[in-house]
Amino acid sequence: MESIGYGLESLRPNMEFHRLLYTSFVTNVNTNMLTDMLSFLIGHTPQHDSLFGLDSTSGGTVQFVLVNNQFMKKWDERYKQWLICIQNVFSYQLPRMGKDYITRLVFDPRHLTLALIKNGYRAIGGITFRPFTSQGFSEIVFCAVSSDEQVKGYGTRMMNHLKDYHLSQGIYYFLTYADSYAIGYFKKLGFTKYVTLQKERYHGFIKEYDGATLMECRLDPRLSYNSLGQVLIMQRSIVQKMIEMKQKTNQSKTFSYKFTGDHRIVPLSFIQRKNRTNIKFDTNDVDFNDHSKDLYQTLKSIMDKLESHDDSWPFIGPVDEIEAPHYYDVIPYPMDLSTISQRLKRHYYVNVHLFHCDVKRIFFNCRTFNSEDTEYFKMANTLERYYFSLIKEHGLFVKSLRDEHQMIVSLKHRDHDRHQQSSSSSSMIHDSNSEI
């Protein structure tokens, strides 16, 4: 049994640093702050071969060791135990492969195994592969982690270590045959079904499997895969600093307005007075007038008809969480007809848009929480159609806030005409009574 990978210590720091530096720029975060973070990069650049590094975890330490069987007369007892443990992990996690077949390949001297060692003695997973150095690729044969150690990111970390090792060996392609259960997993590790490696370079070298899909992972020699997480943390801190700096420069451009009562309109004069930096904004689609009093009678009439509809009873009051468990976990902004009526009495609805949004939210919440085949879902659709008919009947159907001002003016004229007709009718009745 022999450990592979020694002798890279003298080459690793400089090569690792350049790949790590390129990785930091590959996502286009190109600012002066990267210069300030170079000390951070240098301080965290490994000074030894990462294959033999120790990574701290909440459950102890994990070590990545590359081993294979060289038919040595004197075996290192640790390596023998590790290979046997990994062979058992593969046999348990990949039962369709067959234990004899797995054992033959794991102990084949042409195959190497990247062993995942926890706390210095226990092999909890590994990747067995066969390098074809002359062809410029390696075949990934087995990849598995013990069932009690899964969902901890060990598979990704193993693959990243393996990628960095192959970059040091000048191999830039991985090939593997994945069954339908493993395709999604390998995609997460950077593999794709689109094979770019020339067929003549791998055809006849790797074994083909019936019912499996050939997948490829192409390595970028400019990247340090084992340091991607570190670089992302660095970039996150950079972006956070950029956000903080932007917020400081924008503090003078922000302002707040204290609403009086339940009104929800900021006066245009207030916005213009606070706009010291002359920020350009379009106010054509915004009506800055309060129409709550003009709309009150019309909206109240619509609410009375909605509440008297046969399908309105589920929406009259707030939803009882006892009858609908976890409702308020799914629906962050609940709404009901009684809440709308209360807001209407307080003249909350300064325009039709606000009223329309609240009513629509009732139907939206219902369809979000309930499935299509439920009675509530169907009742929400029925009541919504009735609501739209009422909106059109009262002339309140507007496509934008720009149309709302014209609609309010028409509404005032219509109410005025109705009042005149009512007055003239009462006068005619009074005159006829006098003649009698």
> Which CATH superfamily includes the segment(s) 2-231?
Gcn5-related N-acetyltransferase (GNAT) (3.40.630.30)
Beta-carbon count within 10 A of 336 CB: 18
**Do 2-231 and 292-420 agree at the fold level?**
no
Phi and psi for 296 in degrees, rounded to 5? -55, -55
Task: Give the class (CATH, top level) of 292-420.
Answer: mainly alpha
Percent pLDDT > 90 in the chain is 31
∠ Cα 256 352 362 (to 5°):
95
Residue 310 pLDDT level (bands cut at 50, 70, 90): very high
The region that residue 402 occupies, defined by phi over 0 for left and psi between -120 and 50 for alpha, beta otherwise, is: alpha
Q: Is a pLDDT exceeding 90 seen at residue 365?
A: yes
Q: Is a pLDDT exceeding 80 seen at residue 200?
A: yes
Rounded to 10 deg, the angle between the 337-345 and 292-307 helix axes is: 150
Domain ranges of the chain: 2-231, 292-420
Cite the active site residues: 139
SS3 (DSSP) at 67: strand
Name which of 57, 80, 78 is nearest 70 in CA terms.
80
**32-89 confidence digits (pLDDT tens):** 444 333 333 333 333 233 344 445 444 567 888 888 876 655 666 778 888 889 999 9
Cut 0.75: pTM above it: no
pLDDT of residue 402: 47
Mean pLDDT across the stretch 132-160? 89
Rounded to 10 deg, the angle between the 77-93 and 99-106 helix axes is: 140
The letter for the amino acid at 404 is E
Note whether 114 and 79 are within 8 A (CB): no
